[in-house]
Structure 1
């Protein structure tokens, strides 16, 4: 995915200014920066989630496999299948575990039979590290799972439609340390199969899970590069000040 000169306004307020970035297929990219700096706003431009906000306006060029994401002929439902999203708070549907995962493949016509759908559900839950814990209770409600399990169910739901990109907006902020460790482990396992973008306030988490890091500040992309370079040898003084805890 590529973004060039992307700006976002909410009404008269500019939230993002001229952000350009490449998101690599086989790497995890972390977006870091203080609260309100534009990380989540920019993340939401990548699959047009800002379309759901009446006052939002996006300018610039965002492409997925060379296709203009904001082109009039772009099918937004298909786009969000190709660019899946996992939110800050787990949000399983009030349906069974099985139906949570089967929902996307069903509306996109990805399974031609019940056996096909069973395979997709099992594969998605396995990839999300959840199959072993839920295989005997697939008919239970997804909302009955623990917080960490619900978040992994949401990841299984996102990957069930075989996306190219997975966007994760603070996926661990509502979870305890054990559940967080499982999600981080899962991100490692999914790397290479999908392009993954993770927004996080937790710099240690960014250092653990990502290969590339983008630092945002006051609606601008200050610095973007190898995670190891950003954390040990940042080029910009603002990045250094944030990493060392002078503000944020």
Structure 2
């Protein structure tokens, strides 16, 4: 198992997740840092998305969900009663599987979060935030002349980059991506992967993916989940070329999943 480091942005220790009586995640410990993109891989229903959602308390929205163990952000327990969940979700942003822009203009999609969190004191400040966020998401040159157009009028790949710009706009520290390319064509997927490379180091990034080739391309750390367990976690190159666990090897070589 990969050693935990002091450079970790987020740490999970002995985390279990229950939906009612059903245990979806069993005693998982993992670290996420700024230097490396971390990929969660594993067959459908193995718990990788459930575990991702614990990192910004998205499971709070499910009435039957219960989380045990400890998850910290910069050493602070994110499940503490004193934690402001709205602030937490600004610090730990989420990009979903299906692009979900708001039915607003491209500009307003990006400005929405900063406006709620009071990050801009005037229109000029907001203009800067919107432009910088769209630039970081690799979208500015494609939309700068049509910021008043609806975000939903963009192509699927552009919509996903708009959602990434929206997440970036509130100045997060961590970006969680739940299969961000599964609804996209290969060209749009390549753009998102390129974007992940560019964002690495500025944010701690975690990506859930069904696509093992994608995990190999974009991540430096890979965690393999199976039946709610973290089977193996380590350097991506090691996981894919020299896995320590037989279950990992079987999955990587296509024997199941």
Q: Give CA deviations for 1:139-158 in whole Å, capped at 9, x if unaligned.
A: 00000000000000000000
Q: How does 1:58-207 map to 2 (within 5 A)?
A: 58-207=67-216
- Normalised by the length of structure 2, the TM-score is 0.96
Q: How does 1:9-88 map to 2 (within 5 A)?
A: 9-88=18-97
Structure 2: segments with no counterpart, 5+ residues:
1-9
- RMSD (Å), alpha carbons: 0.4
Paired residue total: 248
- The reply on whether 1:218 has 2:209 as its aligned counterpart is no
Q: Offset at 1:26?
A: 1.7
- The reply on whether 1:232 has 2:232 as its aligned counterpart is no
| In structure 1, distance between residues paired with 2:173 and 2:140 | 22
Q: Offset at 1:173?
A: 0.2
Segments of 4+ in structure 1 off by > 4 A? none
Q: Offset at 1:112?
A: 1.1
